Amino acid sequence: MEELNIPAVLERLKPYGLGPIERVLAAHTGTVQLLLSLYFGSPVDVTLVEQAEEMGEIRRRVSLVVRRTGQEACFARSAIPLSANSKEVLADVREGVLGIGQIAVKHHIPTERRIREVNVSQSQISRKYIMQGPGLYYVVTEVFPRELYR
């Protein structure tokens, strides 16, 4: 669900001095793979880097790579609690082929994303959010290298 308090979002980002696309990356609540594909004018592929199941959750790291250039546009770390996700969602997560946003779309799960944290340094922008819907719950941290977006 989209953030409705637009002035509050803009105010929250103001101290960082972000450029237009950087503001979009920090606060966008839709599927990041599509957003990045539109920005780069090329499909962005999700590649599973590592995945482990332990202590009641699946932890994964993926790289989002611009197909045309091979550049990493973003990397993401996710924590996926076993008890909060349907068996169909977990089966797709374990298979490791789809990004987590793609899994929600595949299963027609309406989702809400709530950004919990935004961090900005000279070299990167990161955001942590919760993505949830019926039978789906993820905690996601996405990290964007600023040099690609200035």
What does the pLDDT look like over 20-58, one tens digit per residue? 999 999 998 888 999 999 999 999 999 999 999 999 999
- The answer to whether residue 10 scores a pLDDT higher than 50 is yes
**Phi and psi torsions of 146, nearest 5°:** -65, -30
Q: What does pTM read for this prediction?
A: 0.89
- Do 128 and 139 form a contact (C-beta atoms < 8 A)? yes
User: Which residue reads 């993926």 in tokens?
Assistant: 62
- Alpha carbons within 13 A on the beta-carbon side of 43: 4
What tokens appear for 48 in the block?
Answer: 């599973």
Q: What angle do CA 35, 99, 51 make, to 5 degrees?
A: 135
Mean pLDDT of the chain, nearest integer: 93
Measured at the CA of 92, the angle between CA 37 and CA 27, to 5 degrees, comes to 40
Structure confidence by residue, pLDDT tens digits, 57-87: 999 999 999 999 999 999 999 999 999 999 9
Cite the DSSP H helix spans in the chain. 6-13, 20-27, 32-40, 87-95, 100-106
